[in-house]
């Protein structure tokens, strides 16, 4: 079911303001996305939330703009306001944002989080496969995003439960040639364009760092979009960063 969505752009908000919005989406079936991570991020004296996803027992992937002074990861969560027995709360030992992440252009907006200890894999907590290096998703492919973002642009009430929505991957030209030049910083090598303007499905404000899932594979990371939330939105092209991800995890493994 394709529905209206508005998700991330925490980087366009003042620190601590990024909350995320999935609007008009639907509640996900509890623990149907066992790879999902809820991130509580402290930056100076404020806190905000991002999404992420488990790619190894002790590594979570998210967006570089979700970095902060202290990051706590919650795995196995559905209702983040309840102390569910399925939840695993793990501190981040080391955040590793991409070394050439550019806050101005949003390029290379990817970050690995090394956890303090390994997650316990079970039915509620699991890994999601990554794509082969440099694989490209065909335009028109229907993928999905999920997160704990706002359900209304008018009210800043954050939902307690994980919500999800489907959207289409677009070709690069849909972003590059978008009227007004708002996507002039779009990089075809490191970014993906998603959310058909005709279907009014896009990412807006928060829930950044969550995965764009195509089939059963994470192909993108929620990154940035237009200020007013109109689609399309931009996702990190994960396949470009597979060599960096593998090299970084290998270097840090005990």
Provide the pairing of β-strand 59-62 with 142-147: unpaired
Torsions phi, psi of 134, nearest 5? 70, 15
Distance CA 156, CA 22 (A): 12
Of 59, 198, 225, which Cα lies nearest the Cα of 140? Answer: 198
Known catalytic residue at 106: no
Tell me the C-alpha to C-alpha distance, in Å, between residue 84 and each of 50, 51, 80, 196: 19, 18, 8, 36
- Say whether 31 is catalytic: no
Catalytic one of 65, 78, 106, 200: 65
User: From the candidates 31, 109, 144, 196, which is the catalytic residue?
Assistant: 109
- Helix, coil or strand: residue 251: helix
Of 203, 208, 223, 226, catalytic: 208
Does residue 208 have an active-site annotation? yes
Q: Report the catalytic residues.
A: 65, 109, 208
């Amino acid at each position: 079911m394709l529905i209206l969505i508005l998700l991330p752009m925490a980087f366009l908000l003042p620190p601590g303001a990024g909350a995320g919005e999935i609007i008009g989406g639907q509640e996900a079936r509890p623990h149907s996305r066992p790879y999902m991570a809820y991130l509580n991020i402290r930056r100076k004296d404020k806190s905000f939330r991002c999404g992420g996803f488990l790619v190894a027992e002790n590594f979570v992937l998210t967006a570089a703009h979700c970095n902060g002074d202290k990051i706590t990861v919650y795995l196995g969560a559905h209702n983040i306001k309840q102390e569910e027995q399925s939840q695993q709360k793990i501190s981040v030992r080391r955040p590793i944002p991409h070394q050439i992440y550019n806050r101005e252009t949003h390029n290379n907006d990817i970050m690995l989080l090394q956890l303090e200890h390994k997650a316990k894999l079970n039915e509620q907590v699991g890994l999601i496969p990554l794509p082969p290096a440099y694989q490209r998703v065909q335009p028109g492919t229907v993928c999905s995003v999920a997160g704990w973002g706002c359900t209304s642009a008018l009210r800043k009430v954050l939902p307690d439960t994980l919500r999800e929505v489907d959207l289409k991957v677009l070709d690069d030209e849909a972003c590059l040639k978008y009227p007004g030049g708002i996507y002039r910083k779009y990089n075809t090598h490191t970014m993906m364009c998603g959310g058909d303007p005709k279907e009014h499905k896009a990412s807006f404000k928060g829930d950044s760092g969550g995965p764009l899932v195509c089939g059963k594979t994470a192909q993108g990371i929620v990154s940035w979009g237009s200020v007013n939330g109109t689609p399309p939105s931009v996702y990190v092209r994960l396949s470009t960063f597979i060599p960096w991800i593998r090299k970084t995890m290998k270097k840090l493994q005990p």
